[in-house]
Amino acid sequence: MDLLLKLRGASAEEMKRGVDAAKAVLDRAGLTAEQAAGAAFELEGWDIDGFPEDRTPSDAVFEANSVWGDAHQAALGACCADWPADKKPVAVELELLIDPEAQLADRDTALAKLRAIVEAKDGHGHASNKLLILAYRVAEELENARDLVSDVTVAYTRFAHSGFYPDEPIEPKRKAVLDAIDALEKATEKPTSR
């Protein structure tokens, strides 16, 4: 499985250098990205649960998590090698590339896909993980995208669960999601240069 590096302001070439460096660390350790990321996820869950002694992860999990951290550091170093010291970030975000169609969509494609998901829904079902990924793709250049993305996902969840209340009209809920997507689009518009 491929990796995706996210870092605001990094070029595609810089991000590729970072991903290549992270993969090299994983290869040297004899781990796949899934194994290393899975170890980090397991340790995070153990932390969230309060470090229960009866579920202490194995040494292999701790080692794989350490490799995942090393991969992040290698990615950061390679990605930002040419950056001035005062502009270098302290971390990058590496994630597994599990849905390339959504995770790599450009802004306009992501907006179109968001709207298509909403238009195709009949008000029954669950909130889509793809919707969240696409909303973050649109908002990735914003300093604090959380509120706008949350507005989209909360409105979508209400819409997706509207089937539980058959007497309530669905269309106002669909409109609320589309309005939230419109707000996300407006907030991410780039001014035209003149």
pLDDT the model gives residue 123: 53
Angle, to 10 degrees, between the axis of helix 129-139 and the axis of helix 171-187? Answer: 30
How far is Cα 128 from Cα 123, in angstroms, rounded to an integer?
Answer: 12
Tell me the pLDDT tens digit for each residue of 30-72.
Answer: 999 999 999 999 999 999 999 999 999 999 999 999 999 999 9
Helix (H, G, I), strand (E, B) or coil at 22: helix
The 10s digit of each residue's pLDDT in 119-162 is: 887 655 555 788 888 998 899 878 778 899 999 999 998 888 87
3-state secondary structure 49-110: CCCCHHHCCCHHHHHHHHHHHHHHHHHHHHHCCCCCHHHCCCCCEEEECCCHHHHCCCHHHH
Res 169: pLDDT? 87
Count CA atoms closer than 13 A to 130's CA, side-chain side. Answer: 16
Q: What pLDDT, on a 0 to 100 scale, did the predictor assign at position 126?
A: 56
pLDDT at 38: 95
More confident residue, 71 or 8: 71
CA 99 – CA 6 distance, rounded (Å): 15
Record the pTM: 0.70
Q: Is residue 192 scored above 50 in pLDDT?
A: no
Burial class of residue 76 (count of CB atoms within 10 Å of its CB; 0-12, 13-18, 19+) = buried
Query: 5 — phi, psi (to 5°)?
Result: -105, 135
The reported pLDDT for the residue numbered 125 is 54
Q: What's the pLDDT at 158?
A: 87
* Domain ranges (residues) in the chain: 3-96, 101-187
Determine what percent of the chain is predicted with pLDDT higher than 90: 64
